[in-house]
Every structure is written in C-alpha cells, then in structure tokens.
Amino acid sequence: MSKLSNLVNKGVRLIVADSEEAPPEPEAEAPAPRAPRARTPRELPAEALVAEPPKSVQRSQLAADVVDFSAVYAEAGIELPLHGYGVDKVGEMLENKRLAAMAREVKATAVLAALEAAGVELRDVIQDGVRRDKALDAFLEGKTTETQELRGKSETHVAAIREQIAVFLKEKNAEIESLKKAAEAAGQALAKLEERKAREEERLHGVLSHFIEGAANPITRGKASVPDKPASTS
C-alpha cells in the first residue's frame, strides 16, 4: 500500500501557516518570503477522504512500460472533478514560479487560499490523488499477475521444447549409430569378399595353369585387375 493510502487511512492533519496578512494567491506577484508566525493544524477525518474506487479493469490493454500514466488513469475511468481542480492542477499551482522562493507552509497556505476562493474543497483534491494511487496499485498488480502467467507459460513451453530436442537427439543419435554400424558391417563384408575372391582366383589360376603353356594365364589374382604379363619368348 502506498504512503498516500496509509495517510488517508489514518486521516490527514494539515499544517498551514497563519500570518497577519491574507496568504497570496498563486497567480499574484510573490512577496518576499517571510517565516510563518504560527502553525495551526487543520484536520480532515479519515471518513471524509474515502474516495470512490476507480473502475475495475479485468485486463489492461496498456504495456507495462507505459510512460504516461494518464493512459492508466483514463483506462480506470478517472476524471477530473467538475470544478477542474485535481491533484495535477494543485501540483502545477505549487510549482508556480511566484511561489518558488516561499517556504513549504507558505506555499500550502497560498494554494489553500486559492482553492477556497475558487470554491474547491481540499478533500476533492486529496480524493483525486487517492483514486489515482489506487489505479496505479491495480495496474501494477495486474501487470504482476500477467508477468507471472507469462513466465509460467514460457517455462512450460521451454520444458516442452527441451523434451522435443531430447527426443530428437535420441532418435538422431540412434540413426547415426545405425549408419555407423551399417558402414562398418559393409567394410567387413568387403574385406571378406576380397579374401574369398583371392582364394577363388588362385584356384582358377591353378586349374588353368595345367593346360595353358607359353601364354599368359588369363586369371587375375589379388587386387590386380590386369592379366599376368606374357612369358618371354627370347
């Protein structure tokens, strides 16, 4: 809960300066700063500051990195009081250059006088601030829930992808091993074929050598694919 909400829950005790002269209005030429003569408490009870809650937003359409909170306030249905004096307006009044050199209490007195002249109750300004604060709290809570939901979905999806990758790798590793074994078996079969071929060629060569004289035996042996050279006739 924000400090403003805590303050409202306890009631507000306003301290303003009482001076011999009426406090200056924000738009008037600022007189030379003077210390307040005394402090007089003005109290607003907690029940007078209970603000109507802003509109409940099921799921905000705004991004969490929104820069201008006016969009958050608009989404929550927060509007200025009919007299036009909200917390932003009062903030501008406090930042008026004519009040810049004044003490804090004097600034407050000047703004209170201006509000009174305009027929505006300070309660309306505070309630406007409270409603905006509640809208910000709700916006943050909603975005926190959205982020947690997104993280949960992302973690679930990541886990599913990792499982798919593990299954894929297992299948491909098995395929690789199968290909390796097939290639190794083919190599072994080829080596045995060469051995059997050599023995068979020796047998054929031996048989024909009984009948062929003076000419090359046409049977090749070993890895050579060319016949033996003819015998010399010289």
Q: What is the CA radius of gyration of the chain?
A: 48
Give the pLDDT score at 194.
Answer: 94
CA 16 vs CA 9, 36, 113, 120: distances in Å: 21, 9, 11, 17
Distances (CA, A) of 41 to 10, 12, 15, 33, 107: 15, 10, 5, 21, 15
Token pair listed for 103: 């003490």
pTM over 0.85: no
State how far the Cα of 68 lies from the Cα of 95, in Å rounded to an integer.
20
What per-residue string of b and e applies to 16-33 under the rule 16 or more CB within 10 Å gives b? Answer: bbebeeebbbbeeebeee
Per-residue pLDDT at 69 = 93
Domain boundaries, the chain: 3-157
Q: What is the pLDDT of residue 161?
A: 97
What is the pLDDT at residue 209?
A: 86
- What pLDDT tens digit does each residue of the chain (234 aa) get? 444 444 344 444 454 444 444 444 455 444 444 444 444 445 666 666 777 788 888 888 899 999 899 999 999 999 888 899 999 999 999 988 888 788 989 999 999 999 999 999 888 898 899 999 999 999 999 999 999 999 999 999 999 999 999 999 999 999 999 999 999 999 999 999 999 999 999 999 889 888 886 567 888 877 654 445 554 444
Query: Residue 9 is encoded by which pair of tokens?
Result: 């829950």
